[in-house]
A and B are shown apart, each in its own frame.
Chain A
Amino acid sequence: MHMSDALLSPSVGGAFWAVSGGLVIWSAKKIREDADTFKTPLMAVTGAFIFAAQMINFTIPGTGSSGHIGGGLLLAVILGPYRAFLTLASVLTVQCLFFADGGLLALGCNMFNLAFFPAFIAYPLLFKPLAGDMQNKARLAAASFIAADAGLLLGAFAVVLQTVFSGMTDLPFRTFALFMIPVHFLIGIVEGLVVFSVLSFVNRLQPSLIAGRSGQGGAGLKNVIASFLIAAAVTGGIVSWFASKRPDGLEWSIGKASGKSGFERKGSSARGIAGSVAVIALAGGIGYIIRRRTRTHGHS
């Protein structure tokens, strides 16, 4: 589930922008090492494939409701962790800009929750060792279920932490986690089922697409990478926690620049409401005049 701007504080959002930005730069550097030009259109098309695959809804057995694939783990299996992370990050960016899923400041959190966990944790640390060469169906099934569920649960847990640290909602950590974790556990089972079925289908028809396509470092390297990234995440979390517990840093400077402290109760007076309505109406009026005076092309 996408994290939203509305529940974030600037410091938590900023911290995760920094962490996810670092991950994008690092992954881009990593993929430059293998100069395979085919991978450029492959990443783009598989990213677009995730979009398209999300359009094909399916009914969830026993519930009557419908769902769609998330696709993070599937991309990681096809592209490997670095390319999968960049592709998922680009999908999230397009979702943010076209559908307003999450919002601009929440994009960093979303890249972390929905791209980092499947690409850098669920796939290399769980799926790969469990699935092996993907020839054994039982192992493939176990790997798909466990890795898809773990990726989703870690993402959901991160959403809970980011929301609680931001402090916009009064939901206590326990209640919120108790709501999010079971829901995402069930979503993860469905996701695992679809990932398993898609992979066995592809394995039967075109095994070359997923088999022996690892080539991006061994398990040892993966462990080093993962621990480095967990350290980065923990640092980000601690920094944002301190930043949100004390009204200093970003909020303090914004408060200072705007002359208001973050905890001041204000703005509920009738004068404030009338003033803001006037500003919005004025903005609309100016916009209308600009519209009348500009020659545009496209829609009239």
Chain B
Amino acid sequence: MNTYQEKLLHTHHGHTHAHPVAFFARLDARAVLLAWLAYTVLLISVPKFDPVGAAVFASLPVLVLTASGVRPGPIFRRLFYLSPFILLSAAANPFLDRRPFFEFGGIAVGAGMISGLVIIIKAFLSIFSVLTLAACMPFDHVCHAMRRLRVPEAFTTQLLLLHRYSFILADEAGSMRRARDIRSFAGRGKGPGVTARLIGSLLLRSTARATRIHDAMVSRGFHGTVSCCQEDHSFDRTDFFFLTGTAAFCLALRRFF
């Protein structure tokens, strides 16, 4: 996990239970998830040589970001960490596709430059939209929506509990790492051998924790399923308008740009 990921983990709103946008928390999470999927599919379907058509899709995450008050800092910082694999794919295009695409002030711009640019724009927008929406949606709502969209219960329960314990174990691993680092000089003691033993101890601690959690769950009446907080929420008119409105807006962006 990189530093920016740790930062994102600790600034995540689902973690602090302070939902910046009450509007999203009130909606049926199924509507938000489906609208989000429609947005992603339409963004990804933008053709290879259409940078403007891709860039205009920034409008939706910009709207969510400004409307929600989600802190933009960690999100923008994340944009600087594009995976080398995306950068390679985008950077190769200008060299491999030299067909002239258009002329700008006497300089011919190659088709490869345009398609490389489209890859970068899509990568930015994918990160931007995922992080803004995930920051606005309480994570338990996402899991319950998935359950009600017939995703197997075993998987949604796993997600809920995983989210719950990630923060705890991340703290534990963080202190183990700090303890190792302050005892290592000039990089000695940070090799795979020592680290593997630390990871092994973390694993043993984690399974011991699982036993304690299980005892606590059983003593509170757990017998296989975790209940769902949006169970009584029905898919009402607001949800319907939200879903169709977003899908129609994205379709309009695809049509007019």
Q: Which residues of A contact B (CB under 8 A)?
A: 1-2, 4-10, 13-14, 24-25, 27-29, 31-32, 35, 37-38, 40-49, 51-61, 66, 68-69, 74, 78, 86-87, 89-91, 93-94, 96-100, 103-106, 159, 163, 167-172, 175-176, 179-180, 190, 193-194, 196-198, 201-202, 205-206, 209, 250-251, 254-255, 257-260, 262-268, 272-273, 275-276, 279-280, 282-288, 290-291, 294-300
The answer to whether the Cβ of B229 comes within 8 Å of any Cβ in the partner chain is: no
B95 (CB) vs chain A CBs: closest residue:
A170
Tell me which of A194, A197, A282 contacts B59 (CB under 8 A).
Answer: A282
**Would you call the interface of chain A mostly helix, strand, loop, or mixed?**
helix
Instruction: Using known A-B contacts A4-B83, A97-B142, determine if residue A201 contacts B197 with beta carbons closer than 8 Å.
Output: yes
Contacts of B59 in A (CB 8 A): 276, 279-280, 282-284
Please tell me if the beta carbons of A55 and B151 are within 8 angstroms of each other in the complex. Answer: no
Please tell me if the beta carbons of B69 and A296 are within 8 angstroms of each other in the complex. Answer: yes
Tell me which of A5, A41, A258, A297 contacts B254 (CB under 8 A).
Answer: A258
Q: Could you list some 21 contacts between A and B, CB below 8 A?
A: A1-B85, A5-B123, A31-B154, A37-B218, A40-B157, A54-B1, A69-B199, A97-B134, A100-B128, A170-B96, A197-B197, A198-B200, A202-B204, A260-B255, A262-B45, A267-B53, A275-B257, A276-B59, A283-B63, A296-B68, A298-B20
Please tell me if the beta carbons of B257 and A276 are within 8 angstroms of each other in the complex. Answer: yes
Give the most central of B69, B151, B200, B223: most A CB within 10 Å.
B200
Contacts of A40 in B (CB 8 A): 157-158, 161, 214, 217, 222, 224
Smallest CB separation, A46 vs chain B (Å): 6
**Would you call the interface of chain B mostly helix, strand, loop, or mixed?**
helix
Please tell me if the beta carbons of B169 and A2 are within 8 angstroms of each other in the complex. Answer: no
Smallest CB separation, A235 vs chain B (Å): 21
A169 (CB) vs chain B CBs: closest residue:
B89
Please tell me if the beta carbons of A42 and B18 are within 8 angstroms of each other in the complex. Answer: no
Contacts of A172 in B (CB 8 A): 96
Please tell me if the beta carbons of B85 and A10 are within 8 angstroms of each other in the complex. Answer: no
The answer to whether the Cβ of B37 comes within 8 Å of any Cβ in the partner chain is: yes
A58 (CB) vs chain B CBs: closest residue:
B195
What total of A-B pairs shows CB separation below 8 Å? 385
In the complex, how many residues of chain B place their beta carbon closer than 8 angstroms to a beta carbon of chain A? Answer: 130
Give the most central of B16, B19, B127: most A CB within 10 Å.
B127
The answer to whether the Cβ of B102 comes within 8 Å of any Cβ in the partner chain is: yes
Interchain CA distance A136-B112 in the complex, whole Å: 54
Q: B1-15 CB contact bits vs A (8 Å, 1 = yes)?
A: 100011011001100
Q: Which residues of B contact A (CB under 8 A)?
A: 1, 5-6, 8-9, 12-13, 16, 18-23, 36-37, 40-45, 47-53, 55-56, 58-60, 62-71, 78, 83, 85-86, 88-90, 92-93, 96-97, 101-102, 112, 114-115, 118-120, 122-123, 126-128, 130-131, 134, 139, 142, 151-155, 157-159, 161-166, 168-170, 172-174, 176-177, 180, 187, 190-204, 206-207, 209-211, 213-214, 217-218, 222-224, 251, 253-257
Please tell me if the beta carbons of B191 and A6 are within 8 angstroms of each other in the complex. Answer: no
Smallest CB separation, A300 vs chain B (Å): 7
Please tell me if the beta carbons of B196 and A201 are within 8 angstroms of each other in the complex. Answer: yes
Please tell me if the beta carbons of A297 and B18 are within 8 angstroms of each other in the complex. Answer: yes
Interchain CA distance A261-B63 in the complex, whole Å: 28
Interchain CA distance A175-B88 in the complex, whole Å: 11
Interchain CA distance A64-B19 in the complex, whole Å: 42
Please tell me if the beta carbons of B89 and A86 are within 8 angstroms of each other in the complex. Answer: no
Interchain CA distance A52-B6 in the complex, whole Å: 10
Instruction: Using known A-B contacts A86-B155, A94-B162, determine if residue A265 contacts B49 with beta carbons closer than 8 Å.
Output: yes
Interchain CA distance A266-B56 in the complex, whole Å: 13
